Amino acid sequence: MTVEKRIFNFSAGPAVLPLPVLEKARDELLSWHGTGMSVMEFSHRSLHFESILEAAEKGIRRLLTVPENYRILFLQGGASLQFSMVPMNLLGHQDTADYVITGAWGTKAAREARRCGNVNIIYSDEANGFRAVPKVGELNFSRDASYIHYTSNETIHGVEFKYDLDAFGIPVVCDASSNILSKPIDIEKYALVYAGAQKNLGPSGVTVVIVRDDILERVAVNQHSMLDLRALARNSSMLNTPNTWGIYLIGLVCEWLDAEGGAAMMQRRNEEKSALLYDAIDSSDGYYTGHAERDARSVMNVTFRLRTNELNDKFCDEATVAGMDGLKGHRTIGGIRASIYNAFPREGVEGLVDFMREFARVNE
């Protein structure tokens, strides 16, 4: 397939990757840096892979300004395994963790945590259909909570925090799967941040975990090795064979992000891209309805719907024909979801806005 034939891919994840990253991976596919071997073919214990792992780690450390007292791990099992590993490592049977639920992923995280200890849901917007996030200062934390968990961007509902949650000394754990590196964050506010790679970082099959050293010291003893965050950190993510190819691609994505101006530039571009779509929704005289409340609108996943399910389906079908794929909303909430991660080009957003206006005109 030629480059000209690439379409606008609005998929929620796995999602569009930067074209220069794919091109570089293609160019290096058969022989990485003159080794005569593909990245997929050499040992994870080789010097070659050591340098790849180091590049990915340094890239994330640089782009998110991660201090030296944090480890950066590249694990498997998806962000979903972190739903379990976080409480297995950090929540004793008698202890309590606070969970802030702003959508489907936080709900799943809390469900796994309940298997380990007490879970106190200190905020849930479920009754409102998951459209909002708590206001700054609105939360009441449990006394002696082992940690507080929240989801910085709920991918299905399109609901995003616009601030780093501060829990005044309680360790903050954040699932940042769908907005990591979309903007700068104050990493020192967090005890642990995790993210599946397949939206903003690379391909599926790698989960990045950024964890503060003192948190690792609290890990409950006698964990299964592959579920033991402390053991994984001590072994530089290499207790077993890591996803070498995925880690390589994360390194390339970091390189691309650096060349593009880093997280601050991504924030500017992402805000501009999402504003184009939200403006199209707001100026449609109610033809399109946004899902999230305004101050919680996601910059990464723009969720909206038309008046009927038939119109939602027609919209997606015709958009696909027009070269815009992956717009169907998640089956649990229906409607439309435009995922516009870092690598999603502005022209694709402009194309969708034109399509929305034309669709509304023709399907009055």
Q: Quote the least distance from Cβ 58 to ligand PMP, whole Å.
A: 23
Specify whether 105 is catalytic: yes
Give me the sign of the Cα torsion angle 148, 246, 269, 10. Answer: negative
Neighbours of 290 (CB within 10 A): 19
**What is the crossing angle of helices 47-63 and 244-260, to 10°?**
40
Residue type, 252: L
The secondary structure of residue 85, as a DSSP letter, is H
Specify whether 256 is catalytic: no
Neighbours of 36 (CB within 10 A): 10
Give me the sign of the Cα torsion angle 94, 136, 128, 181. Answer: negative
Closest CB to ligand PMP among 187 and 353? 187
The secondary structure of residue 328, as a DSSP letter, is B
Closest CB to ligand PMP among 158 and 359? 158
Closest CB to ligand PMP among 75 and 319? 75
Q: Quote the least distance from Cβ 356 to ligand PMP, whole Å.
A: 24
Q: Quote the least distance from Cβ 77 to ligand PMP, whole Å.
A: 7
| Contact by Cβ (8 Å): 117, 92 | yes
Q: Among the options 32, 98, 125, 199, which is catalytic?
A: 199
H-only helix segments in 103-243? 104-113, 213-216, 229-234
Torsion of CA 199, 7, 272, 202, to 10 degrees: 20
Closest CB to ligand PMP among 80 and 363? 80
State which residue has the least CB distance to ligand PMP. 78
Q: Quote the least distance from Cβ 342 to ligand PMP, whole Å.
A: 15
Q: Which residues bind ligand PMP (CB under 6 A)?
A: 13, 78-80, 105, 151, 155, 175, 177-178, 196
Q: Quote the least distance from Cβ 198 to ligand PMP, whole Å.
A: 6
Q: Quote the least distance from Cβ 68 to ligand PMP, whole Å.
A: 27
Specify the pairing of strand 96-101 against strand 70-75.
Answer: unpaired
Q: Quote the least distance from Cβ 148 to ligand PMP, whole Å.
A: 16
Closest CB to ligand PMP among 14 and 92? 14
Q: Give 3-state DSSP helix, strand, coil % of the chain, rounded to 5.
A: 40, 15, 45
Q: Among the options 32, 98, 105, 245, which is catalytic?
A: 105
Q: Among the options 125, 175, 183, 256, which is catalytic?
A: 175
Which of 206, 211, 201 has the alpha carbon at shortest distance from 233? 211
Closest CB to ligand PMP among 79 and 340? 79
Torsion of CA 77, 82, 88, 91, to 10 degrees: 180
Which of 122, 133, 125 has the alpha carbon at shortest distance from 98? 122
Residue 210: strand pairing partners: 72, 193
Closest CB to ligand PMP among 24 and 330? 330
Specify whether 199 is catalytic: yes
| Contact by Cβ (8 Å): 155, 331 | no
Q: Which residues are catalytic?
A: 105, 175, 199
